[in-house]
């Protein structure tokens, strides 16, 4: 049952909340890992394993008691969720403190980069950057930013972020296979091509993400923008890959959907929604299996020349008029401990 636990598909913000409440130990993946440590211990001693499992069960009961107490206290507050706007998705960018360094200049730089990514995703799917980037909510501790998106932009952001997570998964799988052969003392003539494959895999996969994004290009995009937008997307892919490698999570929440009366439009909307839901599930399953990212998982290569932008074409800033960042709703602030 533990491998199929629904917690594997929990959004990054949910796992973060559990972690900050010291309740992450109750997730299926965490419990499965602790059981495997006990059962795969070498040498395996039945008496010690039984004792360790009993201690684990005792700790689970204590943690469950704390969780039920917290849930009861929240239910006593008698509050309800706010109604979401129809057809407005939320993109959540969860930046842990080891990325932002709790430094205002670093945070500003991160915001500049994410505004750049969002601007060019919006330009890709609509032909121009949105006039505003509505901020739905923000929280402190780990810096969590939630922005409003419509479906086409949400789909493109998922193509970008799912692609980045998939690169981490594929490269880790390739590294694991190589290390297994190294342990079996395979010759360098076998190992060296595998090392080269791992490096080539990153570049090839990044190029594939850009190609997929360009299939979503709006007919309204000005022709002279094609090359510059492709360069901007290469930069965006490289940036997002670096950040998810360092522990940043990106998630998407879906809204209630308005009924579409036109038959053809309704089909297109359903297909878009199905695409988004499929990618959301894939992304959560990959993220649930990633190791701790307080340190980077992969040693990524330096950005290639076409992933670097000239200074004057760097990340767009709201003050330059390319996108105004405003609060669509009052920002909610959590004062949880930084991690």
Nearest to 100 by CA among 91, 117, 112, 90: 112
Each as own residue / partner, the long-range contacts of residues 311-319 (CB below 8 Å, 24 or more positions apart, any chain) are: 313/228, 314/112, 314/116, 315/112, 315/113, 315/115, 315/116, 316/112, 316/115, 316/116, 316/119, 316/129, 317/112, 317/115, 318/115, 318/133
Tell me the average pLDDT of the chain. 79
Q: Which pLDDT band holds residue 289 (cuts at 50, 70, 90)?
A: confident
Q: Compute the average pLDDT of residues 31-38.
A: 82
For the residues 252-256, what does the mean pLDDT come to?
72
Query: Would you state the pLDDT for residue 317?
Result: 42
Mean pLDDT comparison of 156-170, 282-296, 307-321, highest-scoring range = 156-170
Cα gap 296→103, rounded to integer Å = 20
**195-239: per-residue pLDDT in tens?**
999 889 999 999 999 999 999 999 999 988 999 999 999 999 999
Mean pLDDT of 22-40: 78
Q: Where are the domains of the chain?
A: 2-76, 89-327
pTM of the shown model: 0.71
Provide the 3-class DSSP secondary structure of residue 323.
coil
The DSSP line for 126-142 is: HSS--SEEEEEEEETTT
* Contact between residue 251 and residue 12 where contact means Cβ atoms under 8 Å apart: yes
CA 161-164-122 angle, to 5 degrees, is 35
Site of tokens 């959560």: 284
**pLDDT confidence bin for 21, thresholds 50/70/90:** low
Pairing of strands 249-253, 143-149: unpaired
């Amino acid at each position: 049952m533990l491998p199929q636990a629904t917690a594997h598909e929990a959004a990054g913000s949910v796992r973060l909340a559990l972690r900050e409440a010291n309740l992450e130990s109750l997730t299926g993946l965490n419990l499965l890992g602790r059981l495997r440590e006990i059962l795969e211990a070498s040498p395996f001693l039945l008496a010690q394993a039984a004792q360790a499992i009993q201690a684990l069960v005792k700790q689970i009961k204590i943690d469950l008691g704390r969780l039920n107490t917290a849930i009861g206290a929240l239910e006593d507050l008698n509050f309800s969720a706010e109604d979401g706007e129809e057809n407005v998705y939320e993109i959540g960018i969860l930046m842990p403190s080891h990325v932002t360094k709790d430094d205002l200049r670093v945070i500003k730089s991160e915001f500049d980069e994410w505004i750049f990514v969002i601007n060019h995703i919006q330009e890709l799917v609509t032909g121009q950057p949105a006039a505003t980037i509505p901020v739905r909510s923000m929280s402190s501790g780990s810096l969590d930013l939630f922005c409003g998106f419509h479906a086409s932009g949400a789909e493109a952001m998922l193509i970008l972020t799912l692609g980045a997570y998939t690169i981490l998964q594929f490269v880790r799988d390739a590294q694991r296979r190589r290390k297994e052969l190294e342990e079996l003392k395979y010759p360098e003539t076998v190992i060296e091509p595998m090392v080269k494959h791992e490096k080539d895999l990153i570049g090839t996969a990044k190029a594939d993400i850009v190609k997929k994004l360009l299939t979503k290009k709006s007919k309204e995009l000005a022709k002279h923008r094609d090359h510059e937008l492709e360069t901007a997307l290469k930069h965006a892919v490289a940036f997002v890959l670096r950040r998810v490698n360092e522990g940043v999570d990106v998630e998407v929440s879906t809204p209630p959907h308005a009924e579409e009366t036109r038959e053809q439009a309704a089909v297109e909307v359903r297909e878009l929604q199905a695409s988004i839901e499929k990618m959301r599930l894939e992304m959560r399953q990959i993220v649930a299996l990633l190791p701790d990212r307080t340190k980077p998982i992969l040693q990524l290569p330096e950005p290639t020349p076409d992933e670097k932008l000239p200074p004057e074409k760097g990340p767009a800033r709201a003050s330059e008029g390319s996108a105004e960042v405003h609060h669509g709703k009052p920002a909610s602030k959590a004062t949880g401990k930084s991690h």
